[in-house]
Every structure is written in structure tokens, then in C-alpha cells.
Structure 1
Amino acid sequence: MKLKYSTIILSGAILLSVTACKKDLEEINKNPNASETAQPDYLLTGTTKAIADTYWGTANNMDASLLFVQNWSKIQYTDPDRYIYTNSSFQELWTTGYTRGITNLNQLIKTADAQANPNYKGVALVLRSWVFTLLTDNYGDIPYSQAANIKEYLTPVYDKQKDVYFAVLEDLRSAQEALNAAGPAISGDIIYGGKPNQIGLWKKFANSLRLRIALRIADREPEKAKQVLADVQAEGSGYISDNSEIAQLVYSTSPNQNPISNLFDTRDDYRISKTIVDKLFELNDPRLPIYASPTKDATPKTYVGLPNGLLVGDASAYGFTKTSKPGTYFLAPNAPAVIISYAEVLFGRVEAAARGFTTENAADLYKQAITASLKQYGIADAAVTAYTTLPAVQYDAANYKKAIGDQKWIALFGQGLEAFAEWRRLDYPQLQPAAAGTLGGKIPVRFIYPGTEQSLNGTNYRAAVAAQGADALTTKLWFDVN
């Protein structure tokens, strides 16, 4: 009995000692000069820039989606243009999306609640919805319900893509309810900060995202999509309604320059794709000199695109000085990273009308959408009129997916991830696979999961693959019906 009590006393002493040590260590590791709670304005600024940099940067945009949709091509190091990737190629969107995106935005939501500032919460919900949409658009099933709560879920389960889209739509509804122009002010907003009606613009941004996602699910869940648009109309804030309201991050000079500008400061391995150059020539499209740079050496056509997916030697043979880089507009340090443009919203409204989800005039909206895209780049009124009256540019109600898909593809130039999602959904334009592609005559239709998921979250990774299909570039996602 004496031994038993002695053991209990000793165990208690050890426990108290460990607890005391842990407390001492926690106190020692505190920085007396640093706040333990992130300031919401700094958190909002840093998170927005981190996501925009990844969204517009090399791994997901320049070395993947811009090549898949044949906006850009590669004249050196052509493996990505031939669909050759490793299991770490698509790590950045996943890692940044969760660690610097979802985690920080979850913290911003908690801080907003603690400080009774619903506008920070609304903005965080809008941005978090955008990040979750980027992740599910490209990987398919992803962690949502258990995401970014490492204290409780070290290995989060993957939610079905349908469930993620539905949940994000609810988050955007909550964002609308939280955002209030009469509420407390917010700082650190590098998208709409400093503009009149800042909160009203975030409400429009939220509704524009709802339109985007409603159309993403429209082939699978038309009634849900229609209801979402009815809810938006009833809410009353409207959509992005002018080029001055585009949701975008306008960059500055180095070190805060546009990621594309930063890359072209030291590298010369990208060119504009022959596919889009040929299309712009065919339509006599006034955006050609904005999207493409003149060749360094004089050539008969001034602008020369490079075919996608060539072997290194074949690509180099076209000549570095005889092929066009992307236009100087996109290479400028202060070029914007566009999240949702006015033109995209108008094209979305065209499609909603064509599907019978709204009673708007599809043909009128279609002309407005093309006009908005041209005006986004400062095209003169006379050129806008000439272009929009061309027979080849008219709306075709009998094949609205082709009419919208072709022109939306042109309008989304540079927005690789969004263009990739829309090309898969609308099936236009009808692109040909890379010349020396490695997928048996197919173009990628998703990103593969990062290899770290297999080692760190293997059970849930395997369950997602079993449900969704092989973890391959050619496995179609739930929203991609045809």
C-alpha cells in the first residue's frame, strides 16, 4: 500500500514538473515585442498578395494552365508544354492555398469576430471562397470541412467537389450578410481599398463569384444554379458592372512587381501561342498588339506565335528573335492580376440567359461583354464598333457554348486558371493537343495532387482517388461533364 501511494505521489510530481516546464517554455518562447494576435489589416494585405502571386505566377499559370489553353507556349525547357510533370509540379497552389490562404483567412475571420468587425469577416469569406474555388477547380475533391484546422485535424478528409462548390456558395451568402457599408471600416485592402463604396464593391465581387460558381455547376445541378442567381437578384447588390470595378491586384515596382514581369527580367523561355495568334489574325482582333509583342527581327506578319508542345530542338528552330513574346502590357511591373473582370461577368450573364436561368437578352449582353474586354485594354471606340459588327463575332443562339467559349477564351487571356476551367466546362475553343504531347493525344483536364499528400495524408488521399478516379492529368472532374 505504501508503495502504491509513493508511486502516485511520484507520478503527480512528475506531471506537475512537466506541466511547469511546458509553461516555462511557452513563456520563454514568447516574443515580448510581438503581438500574439495578427493585426487584421496586415493579415488581409499579406494573404491577398500571397494568393495573387501564386495565382498569377509560374507554377500554376505560366508553366501549366496558360499552356493547356494555348495562350502561351515554350521555346525552351518545353517539358511542361508537352505535359511532362512530376508529383511536385503542382505543389505551390495547394501549399500556398492552404497554408498562406485558407489558414490566414480563417484567422482573419476569428479576429473579425473577436473585434466585432463583420466587414473583415465578409472580405475574408469572399477571398477564402475564391481560394477554395481555385483548389477544387484544379484538383477536384479537396479538404474543405476540416481544412486548415491543424489542431483538430492533422490529416483532413477530402470533400466531394460538388459539396465544396455548394459550401462555398453558402459562404458567399454569409459574406453578403456580413458586409455592411455602414459598418466598421477596414484597412489593408489592396483590391478595393481607397475606392468609393469599398464595401459595396466587395458585395459585387461576392455576387460575381456566385455567378461564376453557379455556372460551374450548371451542367450537373441546373436547378441549384438557377436558384443561386435568383438569390443574387433578390439580394440586390448586383454584379461587377464596369471595368473600374474589376476585382484585381494592381502591382507596383520591384520587389512588389507582377510575377510575370519578375520572371521575364531574367528568363526568355516563353512565347505567345500560335493558336491564339492565328485566331486573333483571323478575326482582325485589335487585342493582338496588346496580347503579343512584335518579333525582335522583322517578320512578314510582325506577330508570330509558337506552336505548343514542341521538342526542344524544334522549338528553338523557330528562332528566339522571330517569335513573339507576350505583350508588353502583361510584362509591365504594375500589370494587374485579374481575379474577375467585368467582361467575364457579362459573359456569365449571357450564358445564364441562354440557359433560361434569367430573362436578360443574351445577344445584347454578348456584345457588351466583348466591348468590355476591348475597353479593358483601352481599345478606341471606332475599333470596338468595327470589331463587334463583324459577322464572325456575332452571337450564335443555336450554339451559345461555342459563341461564348471562343470569345471568353480570348477575353480571359493571361488568366490561366480561370481560362482552363472555362475551356473544360464549355468545350470551346476546340484545341488540338500539344505537337509532341505525352498524353496520347489528350490535353490535361486537372492538376495532379502534390506528392506530399501521399506521404502526409495518405489514407484520405487514397480515399479521394478511389472515389474520383486515377490521380492523373486526364481524369475528368465532377463539373467537367462532356
Structure 2
Amino acid sequence: MFKNIITLFIILITLFVTACKKNLAEINRNPNAVEDPQPDYLLTAAEKTAADNYWGADNNFNSSLLLIQHWAKIQYTEPDRYIFSNSSFTSLWNTGYAQVITNLNTIIRFPDEKANKNYKAVATILRSWTFQLLTDAYGAIPYKESGKIKETLTPVYDSQKEVYFGLLDELKTAADALDPAAGSISGDVLFGGSLDGWKKFARALRLRIALRIADREPEKAREVISEVTASLSLLIAGNGEAARLVYDKPPLQNPMAAWFSTRDDYRVGKTIIDKLYALNDPRLAVFADKPADLSVTNYVGVPSGLTNSDANNLGFSKTSKPDSVFFRSDANPAMILSYPEVLFNLAEAAARGLYNGNAADLYKQAVTASLQQYQIADNTVISTYLNQPAVAYNPANYKKSIGEQKWIALYGQGLEAFAEWRRLDYPQLAPGASGVLDGKIPVRFIYPGTEQSLNGANYKAAVAAQGTDNLLTKLWFDVN
């Protein structure tokens, strides 16, 4: 009798938990959401939300752009001094999971008659990029169980190695699945429905991730690089083929433009202005404006990590804002993956012996493509720049040559520049002047505080395996 009561109790508890999950899934349903969502609308929303999340304030110019010293703060300087909390980095996580990945998973799960396999492949590629941003920033993340609310409300965290390996496989499968015969896609504001564009983006992402793992898993990196370079015509092959969202029509408003229309918090960092001056770099005039005070004739950057009073004392009109082109919706796309980056990645793969190419020549092509990306097309100017000893490729220290020029080329792409700086260890940046981390620069984002309360057991397991959840814990890919 007692055993029967226990058995009945267990059954009732199981039914109760199952019902709770179902009810919670219903409670979390957005009452304003469309009951019969269409794949083209979901795709547009996911692309726009993902690009804005990448390009906007929280994950870019109020965090990662400050950490890698492209920009600095002229007021409200706490983020520039590394004063962050577990509520500082919620946007990348919450928007990435709750909006972008959720919309993309919906497309992927549609029946074939509602979304052809090209929609599903494109959704997988864009989702892979989102997961890549998440693991680059935080490390271990929910990946395999992510978005499966009907199966679990507390997804397990996968290690960064597992995530990168999973993404490499997903991207390959998705790129191979793209087939013009399967039907067209609509609502694509990144590539205008071009399946070739998505194939090239997927392969370029695989190349990027292969180099993320190269210091840890060189043979896996070699295998992937061999696959993506088997036909270079299937990689991004020009500035016009870059993965980017062009804010050229409503409601595609550039988040940088929106911010600067009402705020005046940021200036170009002294670190990058000094470097561009030292290299006689023609991109300086594209990256920065001269100060509003006409008595100041040079570009003036703001040092990283100043106190509010020290920053204010420099003078709003005596320091350089980012060039006004960055605030024009039609002229400043959210750059997701550029042609110069592809060339730098090929150059590094060759330098590491993972690709049979000429590293020095690919490096020159990468720098040239970056100059051309910013409308610097004069061959004499480009040649003069490349022939400087400080710019010339150094095979004895490829990480320095590629790292410094890639850092310049990734101007404005805070999250990607932050990842590459940690991986290549160049340029060698000095910590913020009044930073609070004992002379160190953050090397990761902190998990959102809600993870501790809503997914506590899995959060604790991830932290135990990865290291303390603070700004200075190096991630798996960050070897040196």
C-alpha cells in the first residue's frame, strides 16, 4: 500500500512539473505576437535585431569599442574604467536568445510547405553567427538545448569548444543545403535573397571560427580551412560582397545615428588616433573629425579610462568625435563580416601553415581592401602606405603585423575587434588610466545576473568548469 502511494505521488509530481512547463510556455507567449508568423517577416526581424544588437550601444560603443580603445568616453566614464556589473552585459544575451534565436528557431521548425529549405538554411547561418558572438563574449553558453522551452526551462551550458565545433558543422550543412531549385527567400535585408551571398557568408564564418580554435585545435582548424579554401570563389571576394546591414531605408535606422542625435558621450580613442598618426594612415580622416574648436588643427583623441572630471577637462569642443559619416544611416552599415577580414584570415592561415597561400601578399591585399572600403583608392597613396617599414608584413611576428592592421580595419566592430585582440594579443594596449582592475583590461563579458536566479545549477556548473565569473577570466580560445 505504501509503495502504491509513493508511486502515485511520483506520477502526480511528474504531471505537475509537465503542466508547469506547458503553462509557463503559454504564459511566456507574447499576446501581441502574430498568431501565424511568416518566414519572410521573421527573417527581416531577426536580421535587423541581430545587426542592431551587434552595432548598438550596449555591446559595441559602450563596452567592446571602449575595451579595445577605438573610442573613449568624454563623460559618464564608468564603462571606460571597467566599472561593470552583472547587469551591464544583459543585452547581447537577452536579445540574442529571446528575440534573434527564437525567431530563427521558429523558421527552422516550420513545415516545409511554409518555409522552404533555403529559409531554414539561412536561419541556421544567421543563428550560428549569433551563437558565435555569444560564446566569444561569455565563453560557455546554452547551445544544444537553447530555445527548447517545451523540453527544458533550464538549458545546460556547453563548453566553448563544443559550441565552436557545433557551429562549424552547422554552417557546413547549411551552406551545402542552399539550393536555388528549392525556392527563393523574401525578407532578406542582408543579401537581398542571394543564396550565393549566404553561402559565402557561411564559409567566411567557418574560416573565422577555424582561426578562433587554431591555438587549441590546429588539426581541426586545418581541416576546416582546407574545406573553405578549396574554391576561393565561394568565399567573400570583394568589398561589395561583405555581410552587412545597410541602413538605407525606414525603419532601418542606424543605432549609432540614433544615439548621437541626442547624446554626446563619446570621442575617438587616443590610442587609435596616435597609431594612425604614427603610420600616416589615410583612414584617420575617415574615422575621426577634427575638434569643433577651430583653434585646434589636429585630431585629438581621448585617453581611455579617465575619470569624469579628467575627461570633462579635456573639453568637448577640443577633442575629436567619430567622423560624421558614422552617424548617417545611409553611409554607415552594420558591418558583420568584411572582405578585408577574410583576407586577413587567409593571411594568418598561410602564416600558420594551415593554408597554402602567400601570407605577405594576402596581408597586402587585406590592408589594400580596408583602405578601399573607406574610399581610399589612389594607388600611389596605397603603395606609399604599404611600403612603410612600420606597415610592412613581418613574417617573424605575423601576429603583430596582422593583429595591428586588423585592429585598425575592424574600426567600429567592437565585438569582433575585442575577440581578435584577445586571440592575437596585438595591438598591445595599455589599461585605462583610472581603470579599476589593477592594471588589467577585461577579457570577457560577465554572465547576466538573471542566469544565477533562473538557471542557477547550470550556471554554477559552467562557472566551475570555466573559471570565476568575472571580467578577467580568460576564455578557452584565449590561450596566451
TM-score, normalised via structure 2 length: 0.91
Match of 1:280 among 276, 279, 283: 276
Q: How many residues align?
A: 455
Query: What are the within-5 Å matches in structure 2 for residues 78-477 of structure 1?
Result: 78-111=77-110, 113-115=112-114, 117-193=116-192, 198-234=194-230, 238-252=234-248, 255-334=251-330, 335-381=332-378, 382-477=380-475
Whole-angstrom CA distance in 1 between matches of 2:34 and 2:294: 59
Q: Distance in 2 between matches of 1:162 and 1:114?
A: 35
Q: CA deviation at 1:408?
A: 0.1
In the TM superposition, residue 102 of structure 1 has moved relative to its aligned partner by 1.2
Aligned to 2:267, what secondary structure does the other structure show?
Answer: strand
CA distance in 1, matches of 2:358, 2:393: 11
1:8 equivalent in structure 2: none
- State the distance in 2 between where 1:34 and 1:340 align: 31
Distance 1:407 1:299, change over 3 A: farther
Give the equivalent residue in structure 2 for 1:77.
Answer: 76
Instruction: Tell me which residue corresponds to 1:9.
Output: none
1:82–1:436 contact (8 Å) kept in structure 2:
yes
Structure 2 unaligned blocks of 5 or more: 1-14
Output the CA distance in 2 between the equivalents of 1:405 and 1:258.
28
Aligned to 1:39: 38
Which protein shows a greater Rg?
1
Q: Secondary structure at the match of 1:338?
A: strand
Contact 1:280 1:287 in 2 (8 A): yes
Instruction: Describe the shift of the 1:314–1:355 C-alpha distance in structure 2 as closer, same or farther (beyond 3 A).
Output: same
Q: Hey, what's the Cα distance between the residues in 1 that align with 2:443 and 2:195?
A: 36
Query: 2:8 — aligned with what?
Result: none
Q: Deviations over 1:162-184 (max 9, x none)?
A: 00000000110111121113330
Q: Which moved more, 1:273-282 or 1:384-393?
A: 384-393
Partner AA of 1:474 in structure 2: L
| 8 Å CA contact retained: 1:57, 1:260 | yes
User: SS in structure 2 opposite 1:182?
Assistant: helix
Is contact 2:296-2:318 (8 Å) kept?
no
State the alpha-carbon separation in 1 of the partners of residues 40 and 416 from structure 2: 28
Distance 1:38 1:249, change over 3 A: same
Identity fraction in percent: 62
Pair 1:107–1:116, CA change in 2 (3 A): closer
TM-score (norm 1): 0.91
Aligned to 1:285, the other structure's residue is in SS state: coil
Kindly state the Cα deviation for residue 112 of structure 1 after the two structures are TM-superposed. 6.1
Q: 1:288-315: CA deviations, max 9, x gaps?
A: 0110011000245421000000010000
Residue pair 2:104, 2:124 contacting (<8 A) in 1 also: yes
Counterparts of 1:270 and 1:88 in 2: how far apart (Å)?
Answer: 21
When the two chains are superposed, the root-mean-square deviation of aligned CA atoms in Å is 2.1
CA distance in 2, matches of 1:358, 1:234: 10
**Structure 1 segments unaligned to the other structure (5+ residues):** 1-14
C-alpha distance in structure 2 between counterparts of 1:457 and 1:299, whole Å: 56
